Amino acid sequence: MHHAVLSHFLLTGAVLFVLGLIGFLSRRNLIVMFLCTEMMFQGVVVTLGAFSRFHANDTGQTFVIFVLTIAAAEAALALGLVVLLFRRRGTLDVQAWGRLRG
């Protein structure tokens, strides 16, 4: 491993993305699930940054800034929803809800 090539960065991004996806599908705590979606976003950001360097244009980095903004907006929304739900339910375990079945 003398120098980093594109595939290293892509692999890092893909690993982050896939770990986030696996975590999202397997965890049952809302906060952890949200962290997993953030991890998926970070995987995307790493990939975008790598492609931006590879193509030697700035578009990818511009994209990264907007992705971070949306991620922050989603984080604020998630925090609000989680607080709302916790105050009503007293738990953040997804399996504790079953009202909407049928």
Partner 1 sequence: MPSIPAADPFSHYAPIGVLLLMAAAFGLGNLLLTSIIGPSRHGKIKGMVYESGMNPIGSAKRRFNVRFYIVAMSFLVFDVEIVFLYPWAITFPSLAPDSELAPWFLGRMLFFVLTTLIAYAYAWRKGVFRYD
Partner 2 sequence: MTHMLDKIVTLWPEVALLVGACVCLAVGLSPRAGTRLLCAWVAGLSLVAAGGLLAFGVGQADQGLAAAAGTGMTGFVKAAIVGVGLLLLLVAASVPSELERDAPGGLVDGDGKFDPGSVMRGEFFAFFLFSLAGAMLCAGANDLVWLFLALELTSLPTYVLVATSRDRADAQESAVKYFFLGAMAAAVFLYGFTLIYGSTGLTNFDAIRAYVAAFADSGEPLAPLLRTGLILAILGVSFKIAAVPMHFYAADVYQGAATPVTAMLAFVPKTAGFVSLILLLSLVQPAGAEATRAVTWLLCLMAALTMTVGNVLGLLQHNVKRVLAYSSIAHSGYILVGLVGFTEAGSTALGNGTAAVLFYLVAYGLATVGAFAVLGCIGSRGDEAQTYDDLAGLGRRHPVLGAAMLISVLSLLGLPPMIGFIGKIYLFGSAIDRGYTLLVIIAVLNSAVSAVYYLRIAAACYFRDPAAETVSLAVPWRRAGAVLAAISALVLGVAGGRLVDAAHVATAGQAQAVAHVSSVAP
Q: How far apart are CA 85 and CA 59, in angstroms?
A: 39
With binding defined as CB under 8 A, does residue 99 bind partner 1? no
Report the C-alpha gap between 76 and 82 in whole angstroms: 10
Contacts 24+ apart (CB under 8 A), 74-82: 74/37, 75/34, 75/38, 78/34, 82/30, 82/31, 82/34
State which of positions 56-95 bind partner 2 (CB under 8 A).
57, 59-60, 62-63, 66-67, 70, 73-74, 77-78, 80-82, 84-85, 88-89
Q: Which is nearer to partner 1, 25 or 56 (CB)?
A: 56
Binding site for partner 2 (CB under 8 A): 10, 17, 20-21, 24, 30, 33-34, 37, 40-41, 43-44, 47-48, 50-51, 54-55, 57, 59-60, 62-63, 66-67, 70, 73-74, 77-78, 80-82, 84-85, 88-89, 97, 99-102
